[in-house]
């Protein structure tokens, strides 16, 4: 029986999977998925980077993450419940990642080096935020630092 | 040599006292009786059924039976001896009819043989055990013979053939008397071991042992030889284990007295006797049982009617605030304010703070212990936090409850002692109230860590996890030998130490993860895209072109002469021509052309035609060997290493070959590691398995609910 999932709606792949089964959806480690339904050890859903291709994948390959579901049913929207600053850094890092690669091809050495360094700083700070070992005060300070860097980068 | 065929034949030697050893081929498929018959024939012995084979010393001289004969290996040396049955018969005969000396000798032999299962069975079946029990009861033997008798008994019982319930009261009384009176160490140690078994295994025996062995007599044995000490503690543990809660408490009270503690401290912990595995296990059991006494308070919620509890809460308030001279007559509102200052979650009715179990009332006990026994530290801690004007105050009440919960969890309070456990904390044998004292040390630590972290109440959980880590590490190997040492160890483990340790662990985990299989796979998957990026970059560099210094055909640099090469934007043609020191000619300005398709090979360094004549080849020289007839090669010398790397990479890329420069390796590494990090952003903090997770069986059908077509 395939049953729509209620809370298990969002997760990240913890291993690469070729998707070598009927209706299989191949996954790469780190890829995020949205889940529609489940049946005996399988989920069916799609990768958030290509929502139009649906397929099934083993539940054991997915680490579930908290999320908020709106408009439950056929046209539901799923929003991961993440710290907004963490979310923002993720989006910014991915966006800058593309720009950074362009800077590389264009041989903008100085900009390439500088942006690379800032990205590595952001990665480390984001990691500290996610690890959850910081106190409230430290978290606040770190967020300020991150936001300042992002502002710098966007200029 | 058909080794397989003969694998059931082992070549061994058999010895026998006063006989020439025989070398035989021992056939594992032949019954033992037949082999023994042949051996007897070899030595001219009659009655082969009276003999048996025995392993040598390496195998405890066990008798060989059809069950254990597979342990015989090539080169084994066995002994032919009288059979267990015959030996048992002989020993029994001597014990019944022999003179004193013969009896002593027989008992000595018995104590050596009893550990063998085969022998023990025969001996017990011939009523040997009954005889031994009688001997012990009637108490004729003394000294070494007695020791051998008791030891034989212990060994015979160890096999579990006979139940401990067969022992009667007289027997136990007799053995108890050995414990209660001075005896040789071997007698005491065997007697202790018998009683331990009686307590643990016999239904009736416990009560009698408990009555007849005053705890003081056991304590006396704690200063004897290590094995006696160990057996004494084992018996104490057994008594504690079987006691009901009232008796256990009174027993524990005796054990925590200074006299007993210093006995353990001076004669066991400080002499190194505790290093032995068995002693460590017994001390672990003792510690577990003693700490287990706290369990009852730990799992008890505070009852709203609990007068004692309410009194303790009031006393906490009084000790903290009444010295201010503001106590009394302030009404219930004042109480609430004070309870808030004490850091209770429920400042109107603090009793509610103790309704969660664990730690239940144990938390309140620890708090009041701290307030009563360390009033200075207590008031300092409470006042310091209640006077803070900012939001950085550490709530004493809430913190205490959490700390006691952590301590209970770390010390596994309430868990039954495990068979394998051997880790004990010496400091628990150094104080009447070691748990409460630990709490007092750790609550001060918690307050210190709170300040170091500049924590607010929202950070409560984080502070708790840091404190937990601090305690775990302070109690870790080597364990602190005293409360004072615990305090010192905790002092050195500051918040920043802990975060550094965490950081290190995280880095090493990341290091591990970068080699983890799924990530290595991902790297391989991404690598072609990244190499393509590098290729684009190199070709773009070639399109921009480079100004080269001119060299003569013999490899000499020509002063002030330059030329320029650049790749056409469609990557099909190289344009080149002379230029001056400063100019950057466009494609149209370069008169000569060379089709990329005409490049036959890329040559570097010594292979270059223009470097052949030179003795020392130029590091930065490269040539394009051509197919065409009129021009054989285009020879260049790059102005610097980077240009050299980019040009050779670019040409290799155009020729569809691998880019080999170390700049390529470096760029690949930089781009790839960033790409991997970005891919794994959403997996941050998630444990990545080393092996692929299991794949479930295929779904039974594919009738999906959401079929959007």
Distance from CA of B634 to the nearest CA of A (A): 26
Nearest to B699 among A32, A39, A116 (CB): A39
Based on the domain organization, do A73 and A89 belong to the same domain?
Answer: no
Q: Does A128 touch chain B (CB under 8 A)?
A: no
Based on the domain organization, do B191 and B277 belong to the same domain?
Answer: yes
- B522 and A61: CB-CB below 8 Å? no
Based on the domain organization, do B495 and B581 belong to the same domain?
Answer: no
Chain A residues closer than 8 Å to B390 by CB: none
For B179-194, what is each residue's pLDDT tens digit? 888 878 888 888 888 8
Cα dihedral A19, A21, A22, A25 in deg (nearest 10): -10
Q: What pLDDT score does B532 carry?
A: 95
Instruction: Please give the residue that has the higher pLDDT: either B228 or B408.
Output: B408
B513 located within any domain: no
Nearest to A135 among B453, B537, B541 (CB): B453
Q: Where residue B614 falls among pLDDT bands split at 50, 70, 90?
A: low
- Which are the contacts of B683, defined by CB distance < 8 A and separation ≥ 6? A12, A13, A14, A29, A30, A63
Burial classification of residue B521, based on how many CB atoms lie within 10 Å of its CB (0-12 exposed, 13-18 middle, 19 or more buried)? middle
Dmax (CA) of chain A: 57
> Which of B455, B509, B521, B683 to substitute to test the interface with A, most A CBs within 10 Å?
B683
- Lowest average pLDDT, out of A8-12, A141-145, B456-460, B471-475, goes to A141-145
Label residue B538 left, alpha or beta by phi (over 0 means left) and psi (-120 to 50 means alpha).
alpha
Based on the domain organization, do B600 and B499 belong to the same domain?
Answer: no
Distance from CA of A147 to the nearest CA of B (A): 18
Distance from CA of B390 to the nearest CA of A (A): 13
Domain residues for the domain of A123 are: 84-154
Q: What pLDDT score does B571 carry?
A: 92
Q: What pLDDT score does B127 carry?
A: 82
Q: Where residue B367 falls among pLDDT bands split at 50, 70, 90?
A: very high
Whether the Cβ atoms of residue B139 and residue B183 lie closer than 8 Å to each other: no
Based on the domain organization, do B463 and B484 belong to the same domain?
Answer: yes
**pLDDT at residue B642 tops 60:** yes
B690 located within any domain: no
User: 3-class secondary structure for B536-581?
Assistant: HHHHHHHHHCEEEEEECCCCCEEEEEEEEEEECCCCCEEEEEEECC
Based on the domain organization, do B499 and B535 belong to the same domain?
Answer: no
Based on the domain organization, do A26 and A67 belong to the same domain?
Answer: yes
First-to-last C-alpha distance (Å) of chain A: 53
Chain A residues closer than 8 Å to B519 by CB: 29
B-chain residue closest to A74, CA distance: B706
Chain B residues closer than 8 Å to A31 by CB: 679, 682
Q: What pLDDT score does B139 carry?
A: 74
- B682 and A135: CB-CB below 8 Å? no
Whether the Cβ atoms of residue B400 and residue B443 lie closer than 8 Å to each other: yes
For B297-313, what is each residue's pLDDT tens digit? 898 888 888 898 888 98
Q: What pLDDT score does B324 carry?
A: 56
Q: Where residue B6 falls among pLDDT bands split at 50, 70, 90?
A: low
Nearest to B702 among A22, A63, A97 (CB): A22
**pLDDT at residue B329 tops 50:** no
B48 located within any domain: yes
| pLDDT mean over B200-207 | 81
Based on the domain organization, do B437 and B373 belong to the same domain?
Answer: yes
Whether the Cβ atoms of residue B688 and residue B520 lie closer than 8 Å to each other: no
Q: What pLDDT score does B261 carry?
A: 82
Percent with pLDDT over 70 in chain B? 95
Query: What ipTM describes this predicted complex?
Result: 0.91
- B708 and A54: CB-CB below 8 Å? yes
**pLDDT at residue B708 tops 60:** no
Based on the domain organization, do A13 and A67 belong to the same domain?
Answer: yes
Q: What pLDDT score does B709 carry?
A: 47
**pLDDT at residue A72 tops 90:** no
Q: What pLDDT score does B451 carry?
A: 86
Task: Please state, in angstroms and as integers, the Cα–Cα distance from residue B540 to each residue in A99, B614, B652, B670, following that order.
Answer: 17, 32, 14, 19
Domain residues for the domain of B623 are: 530-667
For A29-45, what is each residue's pLDDT tens digit? 999 999 999 998 999 99
| pLDDT mean over B588-611 | 85
Based on the domain organization, do A52 and A104 belong to the same domain?
Answer: no
**pLDDT at residue B643 tops 90:** yes
Distance from CA of B486 to the nearest CA of A (A): 25
Q: Does A23 touch chain B (CB under 8 A)?
A: yes
Percent with pLDDT over 90 in chain B? 18
Distance from CA of A61 to the nearest CA of B (A): 6
Nearest to B518 among A16, A22, A105 (CB): A16
Q: Where residue B176 falls among pLDDT bands split at 50, 70, 90?
A: confident
Based on the domain organization, do A34 and A47 belong to the same domain?
Answer: yes
Based on the domain organization, do B441 and B566 belong to the same domain?
Answer: no
Q: Tell me, yes or no, if the pTM score tops 0.80.
A: no
Q: Where residue B539 falls among pLDDT bands split at 50, 70, 90?
A: very high
Q: Where residue B2 falls among pLDDT bands split at 50, 70, 90?
A: very low
**CATH number of the domain where residue B278 is located:** 1.25.10.10
Based on the domain organization, do A74 and A33 belong to the same domain?
Answer: yes
- A29 and B518: CB-CB below 8 Å? yes
Q: Does A18 touch chain B (CB under 8 A)?
A: no
- A130 and B454: CB-CB below 8 Å? no
**CATH number of the domain where residue B538 is located:** 2.30.29.30
Distance from CA of A66 to the nearest CA of B (A): 12
Based on the domain organization, do B96 and B238 belong to the same domain?
Answer: yes
Quick one: which of B484, B506, B621 has its CA closest to B552? B621
Based on the domain organization, do B319 and B293 belong to the same domain?
Answer: no
Q: What is the mean pLDDT of chain A?
A: 87
Based on the domain organization, do A13 and A55 belong to the same domain?
Answer: yes
Chain A residues closer than 8 Å to B678 by CB: 93-94, 97
Q: Does A60 touch chain B (CB under 8 A)?
A: yes
Quick one: which of B401, B505, B516, B473 has its CA closest to A133? B505
DSSP B192: H
Tokens for B53?
Answer: 């084979």
Based on the domain organization, do A7 and A57 belong to the same domain?
Answer: yes
Distance from CA of B522 to the nearest CA of A (A): 7
**CATH number of the domain where residue B68 is located:** 3.10.20.90
Q: Does A126 touch chain B (CB under 8 A)?
A: yes
**pLDDT at residue B73 tops 50:** yes
Q: What pLDDT score does B355 carry?
A: 87
Of A62, A80, A98, at which residue does a domain stop? A80
For B80-113, what is each residue's pLDDT tens digit? 888 888 888 888 888 778 787 888 888 888 888 8
Based on the domain organization, do A31 and A59 belong to the same domain?
Answer: yes
Helix or strand run (H / E) with residue A75: none
Of A29, A63, A80, at which residue does a domain stop? A80
Q: Where residue B665 falls among pLDDT bands split at 50, 70, 90?
A: very high
Tokens for A37?
Answer: 């339904």
**CATH number of the domain where residue A134 is located:** 1.20.1270.350
Based on the domain organization, do A62 and A123 belong to the same domain?
Answer: no
Based on the domain organization, do B473 and B552 belong to the same domain?
Answer: no
Cα dihedral B52, B58, B60, B64 in deg (nearest 10): -30
Tokens for A47?
Answer: 């990768």
Helix, strand, coil percent values for chain A (each to nearest 5): 45, 30, 30
Domain count of the fold of chain A: 2
**pLDDT at residue A63 tops 90:** yes
- A40 and B699: CB-CB below 8 Å? yes
**CATH number of the domain where residue A58 is located:** 2.30.30.40
Q: What is the mean pLDDT of chain B?
A: 84
- A106 and B683: CB-CB below 8 Å? no
- B682 and A127: CB-CB below 8 Å? no
Chain A residues closer than 8 Å to B521 by CB: 16, 29
Based on the domain organization, do B181 and B220 belong to the same domain?
Answer: yes
Based on the domain organization, do A76 and A88 belong to the same domain?
Answer: no
Quick one: which of B302, B425, B324, B438 has its CA closest to B382? B324
> Which of B502, B517, B706, B707 to substitute to test the interface with A, most A CBs within 10 Å?
B706
| pLDDT mean over B573-598 | 87
Q: Does A40 touch chain B (CB under 8 A)?
A: yes
B-proximal residues of A, 84-123, CB under 8 Å: 90, 93-94, 97, 100-101, 104-107, 116, 119-120, 123
Domain count of the fold of chain B: 4
Q: What pLDDT score does A104 carry?
A: 95
Based on the domain organization, do A89 and A148 belong to the same domain?
Answer: yes
**pLDDT at residue B666 tops 90:** yes
**pLDDT at residue B629 tops 70:** no
Nearest to B454 among A28, A40, A135 (CB): A135
B-proximal residues of A, 62-91, CB under 8 Å: 63, 65, 74, 90
- B704 and A2: CB-CB below 8 Å? yes
- A134 and B683: CB-CB below 8 Å? no
Of A49, A80, A111, at which residue does a domain stop? A80
Based on the domain organization, do B421 and B307 belong to the same domain?
Answer: yes
């Amino acid at each position: 029986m395939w049953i729509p999932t209620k809370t298990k709606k969002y997760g990240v792949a913890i291993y690469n999977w070729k998707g070598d089964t009927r209706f299989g959806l191949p996954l790469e480690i780190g890829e995020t998925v949205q889940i529609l339904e489940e049946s005996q050890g399988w989920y069916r859903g799609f990768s958030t980077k290509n929502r139009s291709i649906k397929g099934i994948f083993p539940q054991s390959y997915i680490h579930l993450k908290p999320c908020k579901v709106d408009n439950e049913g056929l046209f539901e929207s799923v929003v991961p419940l993440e710290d907004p600053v963490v979310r923002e850094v993720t989006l910014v890092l991915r966006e800058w990642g593309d720009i950074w690669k362009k800077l590389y091809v264009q041989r903008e050495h100085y900009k390439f080096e500088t942006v690379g360094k800032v990205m590595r700083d952001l990665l480390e700070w984001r990691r500290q935020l996610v690890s959850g070992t910081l106190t409230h005060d430290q978290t606040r300070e770190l967020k300020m630092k991150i936001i300042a860097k992002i502002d710098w980068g966007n200029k | 040599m058909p080794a397989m065929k003969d694998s059931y034949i082992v070549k061994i030697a058999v010895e026998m006292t006063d006989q020439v050893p025989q070398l035989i081929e021992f056939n594992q498929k032949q019954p033992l009786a037949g082999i023994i018959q042949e051996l007897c024939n070899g030595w001219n012995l009659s009655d082969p059924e009276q003999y048996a084979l025995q392993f040598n010393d390496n195998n405890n001289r066990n008798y060989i039976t059809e069950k254990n004969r597979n342990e015989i290996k090539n080169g084994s040396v066995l002994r032919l001896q009288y059979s267990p049955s015959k030996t048992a018969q002989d020993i029994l005969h001597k014990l019944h009819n022999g003179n004193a000396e013969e009896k002593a000798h027989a008992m000595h032999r018995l104590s050596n043989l009893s550990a063998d299962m085969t022998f023990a069975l025969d001996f017990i079946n011939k009523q040997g055990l009954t005889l031994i029990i009688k001997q012990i009861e009637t108490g004729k033997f003394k000294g070494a013979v007695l020791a051998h008798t008791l030891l034989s008994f212990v060994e015979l019982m160890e096999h579990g053939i006979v139940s401990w319930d067969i022992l009667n009261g007289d027997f136990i009384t007799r053995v108890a008397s050995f414990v209660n009176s001075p005896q040789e160490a071997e007698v005491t140690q065997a007697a202790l071991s018998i009683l331990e078994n009686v307590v643990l295994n016999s239904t009736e025996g416990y009560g009698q042992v408990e009555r007849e062995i005053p705890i003081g007599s056991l304590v006396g044995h704690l200063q004897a030889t290590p094995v006696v000490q160990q057996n004494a503690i084992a018996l104490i543990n057994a008594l504690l284990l079987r006691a009901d809660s009232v008796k256990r408490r009174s027993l524990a009270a005796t054990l925590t007295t200074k006299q007993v503690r210093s006995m353990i401290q001076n004669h066991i912990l400080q002499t190194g006797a505790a290093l032995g595995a068995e002693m460590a296990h017994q001390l672990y059991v003792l510690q577990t049982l003693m700490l287990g006494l706290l369990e009852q308070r730990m799992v008890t919620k505070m009852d709203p009617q609990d007068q004692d509890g309410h009194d303790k809460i009031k006393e906490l308030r009084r000790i903290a605030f009444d010295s201010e001279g503001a106590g009394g007559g302030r009404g219930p509102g004042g109480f609430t304010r004070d309870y808030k200052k004490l850091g209770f979650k429920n400042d109107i009715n603090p009793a509610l703070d103790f309704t969660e179990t664990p730690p239940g009332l144990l938390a309140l006990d620890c708090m009041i212990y701290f307030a009563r026994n360390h009033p200075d530290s207590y008031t300092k801690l409470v006042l310091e936090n209640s006077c803070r004007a900012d939001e950085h105050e550490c709530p004493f009440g809430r913190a205490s409850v959490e700390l006691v919960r952590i301590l209970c969890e770390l010390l596994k309070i309430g868990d039954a002692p495990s068979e394998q456990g051997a880790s004990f904390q010496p400091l628990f044998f150094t104080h009447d109230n070691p748990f409460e004292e630990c709490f007092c040390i750790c609550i001060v630590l918690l307050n210190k860590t709170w300040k170091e972290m500049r924590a607010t109440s929202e950070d409560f959980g984080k502070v708790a996890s840091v404190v937990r880590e601090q305690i775990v590490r302070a109690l870790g190997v080597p364990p602190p030998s005293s409360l004072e040492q615990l305090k010192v160890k905790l002092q050195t483990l500051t918040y920043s130490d802990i975060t550094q340790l965490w950081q290190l662990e995280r880095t090493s985990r990341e290091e591990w993860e970068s080699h983890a299989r799924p990530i290595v796979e991902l790297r391989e998957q991404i690598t072609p895209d990244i190499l393509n990026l590098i290729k684009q970059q190199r070709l773009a560099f070639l399109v921009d072109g480079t100004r080269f210094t001119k060299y003569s055909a013999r490899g000499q640099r020509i002063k002030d002469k330059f030329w320029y090469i650049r790749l056409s934007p469609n990557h099909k043609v190289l344009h080149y021509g002379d230029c001056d020191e400063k100019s950057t000619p466009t494609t149209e300005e370069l008169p000569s052309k060379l089709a990329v398709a005409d490049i036959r090979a890329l040559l570097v360094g010594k292979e270059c035609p223009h470097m052949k004549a030179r003795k020392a080849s130029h590091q930065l020289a490269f040539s394009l060997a051509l197919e065409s007839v009129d021009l054989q090669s285009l020879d260049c010398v790059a102005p610097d290493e980077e240009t050299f790397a980019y040009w050779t990479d670019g040409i290799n890329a155009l020729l569809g070959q691998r880019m080999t420069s170390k700049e390529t390796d470096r760029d690949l590494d930089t781009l790839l590691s960033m790409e991997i990090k970005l891919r794994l952003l959403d997996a941050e903090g998630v444990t990545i398995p080393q092996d692929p997770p299991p794949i479930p069986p295929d779904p039974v059908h594919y009738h999906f609910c959401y079929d959007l077509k």
